[in-house]
Amino acid sequence: ETGVTQSPTHLIKTRGQQVTLRCSSQSGHNTVSWYQQALGQGPQFIFQYYREEENGRGNFPPRFSGLQFPNYSSELNVNALELDDSALYLCASSLDVANYGYTFGSGTRLTVV
Amino acid sequence: RKEVEQDPGPFNVPEGATVAFNCTYSNSASQSFFWYRQDCRKEPKLLMSVYSSGNEDGRFTAQLNRASQYISLLIRDSKLSDSATYLCVALTGGFKTIFGAGTRLFVKA
């Protein structure tokens, strides 16, 4: 059984650029959530995808968008990057939207300069 | 006011000590609760779910009090390997997972 994998592990971008982060969910998991974790803080919920549809969203602006594919893998896209977008981005999958507890990937560390 | 609040910590305890983590949540409609553990520069890992009846897993005991909107985690006989940040989590609206800021634990020999 493979866990949740994210790519890339590290990324440096310039303010104003766009970035795409990728996530492969754990085998058998149809629900994927994305989080932003700043240093010293808990993960902040960005949005959740269930069976290719956005199922809910946290307090993030529209320049944060996502996709889920038929194999349940997912992408997080961030447009017009700002310095404050520098953070660890975590993807987590669960067996179903009912949430039996999430399995997290090791994250993508994004630095915006 | 944050939706999920935890003791700011850090907690510094000797091996063998009992340590308690406290957490409160503001949304009374929150349905499910969890404790996660996060090691330095690693991803969070599910420690245990939290039920109103209380649940235990070895040295770990979690408790939920819906009337007080309070969640707790007790670690007995602390080990060096328990050193980590402990995150309290509330699930709201069926999809929105709210994490607390976490409480850092240092267990010393």
Across residues A39-60, what is the average pLDDT? 93
Instruction: Judge contact between A66 and A76, C-beta under 8 A.
Output: yes
* 8 Å CB contact of B42 and A101: no
Q: Is B2 on the interface with A (CB under 8 A)?
A: no
Q: What is the count of residue pairs from A and B with beta carbons less than 8 Å apart? A: 54
At residue A98, the pLDDT reads 65
Q: CA–CA separation, B42 vs A43, rounded Å?
A: 12
pLDDT digits (tens, 9 = 90+) for B34-81: 999 999 989 999 999 998 888 999 999 999 999 999 999 999 999 999
pLDDT digits (tens, 9 = 90+) for A11-44: 999 999 999 999 999 888 899 999 999 998 999 9
Nearest CA in chain B to A96: B95
- Both tokens of residue A106? 């090791």
Q: Is A58 on the interface with B (CB under 8 A)?
A: yes
